[in-house]
Amino acid sequence: MNGPRSKAIALWGLVAFSLILLSFPTVIIIGASFTAGEIIQFPPEGFSLRWYEKLWQLDSFQDALLRTFYVSFICTLISLPVGTLAALATVRYRIRFRRTLQVYLLLPFTIPLVVSGLGMLIVFGEVRILGQLWPVGLALCIINLPFMIWAVSASVNGLDSELENAAANCGAAPVQIFFTVTLPAVMPGVITGALLMFILAFNEFLVSLFLVDSRIVTLPVQIYNSIRSVITPDLAAVSVVYILIAVIAVWVLDRLVGLEIFLRSK
């Protein structure tokens, strides 16, 4: 067997092994969610949709799901102006201490989530906003904001400044230039960052655990509370809901931005 052929076989073998390894947990949890038995297992015991039916009959699940959507929406809503303007400021403009500011905005990457959650618990408690849902969305925006800044910065780096200069030469005001030239040009990064922020907030558990109580529990925290007692197939059904939401997010990203543009921006 010649050299190039053996390298190709080894490469494709490694790719196949990686794909199987990555998809194996997903395949198991999807299969386990359709079991007809009373315990979670794979291969499933028969085939049934009973656990999905039970899932949508649980008021606690529906309430937790709606709270999680609300928290994710608040997180995304806050991150859109903050992340977009921060990316533009740190990439396009010569501001004082720009490098220091860039490092500061990336600090959530380096701080452990348990530390962030504890710190926000203390701060939110001092200002007396604990026990509400919107502070949870604010906290999730803070810890995930670097993803929004990264996504928009990738688009800003590809923005031709001559377009803005041409608009200015035509008499456009700075605000008009921003909304008619700059913002449309970086919109792929904005959309990508918004979807990332929504999914990350939807999945966030550790920080949410510090900030919610039994009245405003989110879905990840409810799953955690459930598995502390017994793991039943309805939890596998909840996991499939998470997988479905992730697939929808990737589909939306592909339709609005294009995965090839997103991957190339990295």
What is the Cα–Cα distance from 65 to 241, expressed in whole angstroms?
Answer: 10
Q: pLDDT for 2-47, tens place per residue?
A: 566 777 777 787 878 887 887 777 788 777 777 777 777 677 777 7
* Residue 229: inside a domain: yes
* Residue 165: inside a domain: yes
Residue 91 CB partners (closer than 8 Å, separation 6+): 153, 156, 157
* Residue 8: inside a domain: no
What is the Cα–Cα distance from 241 to 219, expressed in whole angstroms?
Answer: 11
What total of structural domains would you count in the chain? 1
Angle of CA points 22, 27, 31, to nearest 5°: 165
What is the Cα–Cα distance from 196 to 255, expressed in whole angstroms?
Answer: 15
Q: What is the CATH number of the domain that holds 93?
A: 1.10.3720.10
* Residue 33: inside a domain: no
* Residue 195: inside a domain: yes
* Residue 30: inside a domain: no
Residue with tokens 């701080």: 111
**Which residues constitute the domain of residue 98?**
51-265
* Residue 125: inside a domain: yes
pTM of the model as a whole: 0.80
* Residue 18: inside a domain: no
With cut-offs at 50, 70 and 90, classify the pLDDT of residue 240.
confident
The residue that leads in pLDDT, 194 or 48, is 194
pLDDT for position 76: 92
Angle of CA points 179, 150, 147, to nearest 5°: 105
Mean pLDDT of 156-171: 73
